[in-house]
């Protein structure tokens, strides 16, 4: 794929082919402003999935920065979530901060109408480039987790008792390692780890922009510690390390530090060749159930 034609620069009239392309379609207006629509069919817990929100923001910013220097694939993106986005129209505002020879950096903000005024939901700063330039050679890479085949894994329609399967799970084909679904059966492993196969339900192949969605598509890793419920992201930073090969992705989420109602969630995504293609860390807030003790909890502090 020529770098000048990487998939970030997708516009409305090229969409309508897949659910994801429809969801991240946009129209460019004047002065670096864009219009889009976050579909309610990608919601979870009443809010549109943050990964989809970031993918739309990356697609738009790639379009803006690509006009400067051909740098249309996200290498790094950091997003701060100020309020939850609803399934509704959005306005995106972009700013080009630096155009270099091999990378460009910019900012994008996502806004929605609330009571007649535009409210900024999410702000992202990001650096874009040509992934072909920034992914070879591989000198060192994390090994993918040992996962039974997708057909031996557990479909993500499992949910804790009392939880409904959110609309997002119809967009996604997500298959958990059988050892990592105890939380859905009332016996979380306490390891703070979720491993799964992932792909789009409609067969759309992964690309650089979609990896920002897949990094944030799994349930909260806190589930595996017995902390169920909504875990809003405060900050998320994702790195795209290579264009993914077609086929299933594998992902592992984990957390090591859970304190004061905050935890970090680390995600790694491998493509079908077993190569690391994306990694992320986010800081999320959780509400500790009264009296909760976590297996493996630190005694210090």
Beta carbon nearer to a second copy, 178 or 261: 261
Footprint (CB under 8 A) of a second copy, residues 153-192 = 192
Q: Does 281 bind a second copy (CB under 8 A)?
A: yes
Beta carbon nearer to a second copy, 157 or 273: 273
Select the residue interacting with a second copy from 8, 75, 90, 168 (CB under 8 A). Answer: 75
**SS3 at position 171:** coil
Select the residue interacting with a second copy from 48, 65, 85, 103 (CB under 8 A). Answer: 103
Backbone angles phi and psi of 201, in degrees to 5: -65, -30
Closest listed residue to residue 172, CA positions, set 32, 71, 67, 23: 23
C-alpha 30/C-alpha 34 separation (Å) is 8
Shortest spacing between CB 138 and a second copy, in angstroms: 4
C-alpha 155/C-alpha 126 separation (Å) is 33
Check if the beta carbon of residue 257 is closer than 8 Å to that of residue 263.
yes
Task: For residue 1, give the DSSP letter.
Answer: -
Q: Does 289 bind a second copy (CB under 8 A)?
A: no
- In the shown chain, the binding pattern of residues 195 to 234 toward a second copy, with x for contact by CB under 8 A and - for none, equals ------------------------------x--------x
Check if the beta carbon of residue 135 is closer than 8 Å to that of residue 243.
yes
Beta carbon nearer to a second copy, 20 or 236: 236
Closest listed residue to residue 209, CA positions, set 94, 101, 63: 63
Which residues is 235 bridged to in the sheet?
80, 283
Q: Does 142 bind a second copy (CB under 8 A)?
A: yes
Task: For residue 222, give the DSSP letter.
Answer: G
Shortest spacing between CB 85 and a second copy, in angstroms: 14
Shortest spacing between CB 271 and a second copy, in angstroms: 9
Footprint (CB under 8 A) of a second copy, residues 37-66 = none
Beta carbon nearer to a second copy, 137 or 149: 137
Beta carbon nearer to a second copy, 49 or 233: 233
Torsion angle of C-alpha atoms 167, 168, 173, 174, degrees rounded to 10: -110
Select the residue interacting with a second copy from 87, 123, 158, 182 (CB under 8 A). Answer: 123
Backbone angles phi and psi of 224, in degrees to 5: -70, -10
Select the residue interacting with a second copy from 42, 127, 153, 199 (CB under 8 A). Answer: 127
Check if the beta carbon of residue 205 is closer than 8 Å to that of residue 269.
no
Q: Does 118 bind a second copy (CB under 8 A)?
A: no
Beta carbon nearer to a second copy, 205 or 264: 264
C-alpha 289/C-alpha 122 separation (Å) is 28
Q: Quick one: residue 169, left, alpha or beta (phi over 0 = left, psi -120 to 50 = alpha)?
A: alpha
Residues within the interface to a second copy (CB under 8 A): 75-76, 78, 80, 82-83, 97-98, 103, 105, 107, 120, 123, 125, 127, 133-143, 192, 225, 234-235, 237, 239, 241-242, 255-264, 273-276, 279, 281, 283, 288, 292-294, 296-298, 300-301
């Amino acid at each position: 794929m020529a770098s000048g034609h990487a998939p970030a620069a997708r516009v409305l009239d090229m969409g309508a082919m897949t659910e994801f392309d429809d969801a991240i379609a946009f129209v460019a207006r004047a002065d670096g402003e864009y219009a889009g629509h976050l579909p309610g069919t990608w919601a979870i817990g009443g809010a549109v999935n943050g990964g989809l929100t970031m993918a739309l923001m990356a697609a738009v910013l790639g379009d803006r920065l690509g006009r400067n220097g051909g740098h249309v694939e996200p290498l790094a993106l950091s997003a701060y979530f100020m309020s939850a986005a609803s399934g509704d129209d959005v306005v995106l505002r972009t700013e080009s901060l630096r155009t270099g020879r091999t990378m460009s950096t910019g900012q994008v903000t996502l806004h929605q109408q609330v009571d007649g005024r535009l409210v900024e939901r999410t702000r992202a700063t990001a650096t874009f480039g040509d992934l072909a330039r920034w992914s070879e050679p591989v000198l060192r890479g994390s090994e993918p987790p040992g996962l039974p085949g997708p057909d031996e894994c557990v479909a993500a329609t499992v949910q804790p008792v009392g939880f409904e399967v959110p609309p997002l799970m119809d967009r996604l084909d997500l298959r958990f390692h059988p050892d990592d679904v105890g939380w859905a059966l009332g016996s979380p492993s306490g390891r703070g780890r979720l491993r799964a196969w992932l792909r789009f339900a409609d067969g759309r192949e992964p690309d650089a922009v979609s990896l920002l969605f897949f990094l944030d598509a799994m349930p909260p890793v806190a589930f595996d510690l017995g902390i169920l419920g909504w875990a809003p992201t405060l900050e998320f930073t994702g790195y795209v390390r290579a264009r993914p090969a077609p086929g299933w992705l594998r992902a592992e989420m984990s957390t090591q530090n859970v304190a004061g109602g905050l935890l970090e969630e680390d995600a790694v995504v491998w493509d079908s060749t077993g190569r690391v293609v994306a990694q992320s860390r986010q800081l999320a807030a959780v509400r500790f159930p009264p009296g909760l003790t976590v297996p493996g909890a630190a005694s210090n502090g």
